[in-house]
């Protein structure tokens, strides 16, 4: 059983570091990356004028997912009943506020909480159009009543906390439900459920390959799984092959959609599971959604290796380090002790 501070912190900080590493090259083709950074591609965090490596909407939304989950747990414990996706939806409305969108009277009562006091979160770093449009509609999507037909990776890139907090038997459903709030295509929310389940398996002590195999098995219980499950099988197969990383990733896609982002990240985590830096280098140096594949790879390997195997200099440089640590610790404390705090995480 690996439910400890080392792995919770590793998962969230690892994801943020992968996000920050990939952010400068997110919209660049591989040849452009090579022209700018050399034949090996980007190999270190880019430090902004603030002295930090900037995170993007991937990490921002991951933080608000975790906050929503913690507030849902507070409500469930103290009120006896709760629908976690609704509380997470309210958390996403708070994130939307940070993206320079005005308050809406209908949701005035949800615009609170300590994350909104973190000024660094009020930065727009190429947020996904699907997330923005879905949340601006104020309609709450679900698996049963999809809000659109999007399978963009904006659903999967934010659900790692579900894998940390819930037992694997519940993690898949929660991850999928949280993604379905904004992404209605099965591959948009099933990839998110799969990531949550995968991380839950790792946190429960499975090695990465076994966790991937079990995730595929679990995924196959859901309707419309084939697109996602077949690509994960391909990632597993490619990780054992001798072809180059670039060729392998090109067979998996570019990562702009959920199943591709997950498959690329799984490939990188499997191929370089003992080398956090190498896995992230491969995850971001391609012609695709580099920050999201970097973030998801960092989530997976951070949960597997723990914070102690992540380069300390990267931890110190990543933006919102202390916030990420606080959220990781709160997830662990509330999981272990059910020590809910309405003042810190009000249940709405």
**What pLDDT, in 10s, does the model give residues 55-97?**
999 999 999 999 999 999 999 999 999 999 999 999 999 999 9
Reported as a pLDDT band with limits 50, 70 and 90, residue 338 is: confident
117 DSSP 8-state letter:
G
Reported as a pLDDT band with limits 50, 70 and 90, residue 141 is: very high
Q: Report d(CA 248, CA 239) in Å as an integer.
A: 8
pLDDT of residue 34: 97
pTM of the full structure: 0.97
Give the residue with greater pLDDT, 112 vs 335.
112
Q: Report d(CA 253, CA 231) in Å as an integer.
A: 9
Q: What confidence tens digit (pLDDT) does each residue in 10-44 have?
A: 999 999 999 999 999 999 999 999 999 999 999 99
**Cα angle 2, 115, 288; round to 5:** 70
Give mean pLDDT, residues 291-313. Answer: 98
Cβ proximity of 348 and 72 under 8 Å: no
Bridge-partner residues for 152, per DSSP? Answer: 257
Q: What confidence tens digit (pLDDT) does each residue in 177-226 have?
A: 999 999 999 999 999 999 999 999 999 999 999 999 999 999 999 999 99
Give the residue with greater pLDDT, 336 vs 70.
70
pLDDT of residue 2: 65
Q: Report d(CA 39, CA 198) in Å as an integer.
A: 33
Taken in order of first residue, the domains within the chain and their CATH numbers are 5-337 (1.10.4080.10)
On the question of pLDDT at 340 being above 90, the answer is no
Q: Report d(CA 83, CA 162) in Å as an integer.
A: 14
Burial 310-340 (b: 16+ CB within 10 A, else e): beeebbebbbbbebbbbbbebbbbbbeeeeb
pLDDT of residue 336: 81
Distance between the two ends of the chain, CA-based, in angstroms?
Answer: 31
Give mean pLDDT, residues 301-307. Answer: 98
Q: Which among 63, 66, 128 is positioned nearest to 258, based on CA atoms? A: 128
Mean per-residue pLDDT of the chain:
96
Q: Report d(CA 345, CA 348) in Å as an integer.
A: 9
Q: Residue 2 burial by CB count (10 A; 0-12/13-18/19+): exposed, middle or buried?
A: middle
Instruction: Give the H or E element holding residue 335.
Output: helix 321-337
């Amino acid at each position: 059983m690996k439910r400890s501070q080392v792995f919770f912190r590793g998962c969230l900080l690892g994801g943020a570091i992968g996000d920050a590493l990939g952010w400068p090259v997110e919209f660049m083709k591989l040849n452009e990356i090579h022209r700018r950074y050399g034949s090996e591609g980007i190999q270190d965090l880019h430090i902004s004028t603030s002295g930090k490596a900037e995170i993007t909407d991937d990490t921002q939304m991951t933080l608000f997912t975790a906050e929503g989950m913690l507030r849902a747990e507070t409500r469930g414990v103290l009120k006896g009943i709760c629908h976690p996706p609704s509380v997470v939806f309210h958390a996403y409305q708070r994130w939307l506020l940070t993206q320079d969108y005005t308050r809406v009277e209908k949701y005035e009562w949800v615009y609170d909480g300590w994350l909104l006091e973190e000024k660094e979160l009020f930065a727009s770093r190429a947020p996904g159009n699907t997330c923005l449009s879905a949340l601006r509609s104020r309609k709450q999507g679900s698996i049963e009543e999809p809000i659109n037909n999007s399978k963009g990776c904006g659903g999967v890139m934010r659900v790692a906390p579900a894998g940390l907090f819930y037992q694997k038997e519940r993690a898949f459903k929660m991850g999928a439900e949280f993604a379905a709030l904004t992404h209605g295509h099965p591959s948009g929310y099933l990839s998110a459920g799969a990531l949550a389940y995968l991380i839950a398996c790792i946190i429960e002590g499975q090695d990465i390959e076994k966790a991937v195999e079990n995730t595929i098995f679990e995924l196959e219980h859901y309707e419309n799984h084939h697109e996602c499950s077949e690509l994960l099988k391909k990632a597993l197969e490619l990780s054992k092959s001798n072809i180059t990383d670039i060729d392998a990733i090109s067979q998996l896609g570019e990562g702009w959609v959920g199943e591709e982002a997950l498959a690329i990240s799984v490939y990188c985590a499997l191929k370089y599971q003992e080398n956090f830096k190498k896995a992230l280098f491969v995850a971001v140096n391609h012609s695709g959604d580099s920050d999201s594949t970097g973030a998801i790879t960092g989530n997976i390997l951070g949960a597997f290796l723990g914070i102690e195997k992540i380069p300390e200099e990267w931890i110190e440089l990543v933006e919102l380090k202390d916030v990420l640590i606080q959220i990781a610790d709160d997830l662990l404390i509330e999981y272990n002790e059910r020590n809910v705090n309405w003042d810190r995480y009000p249940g709405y």
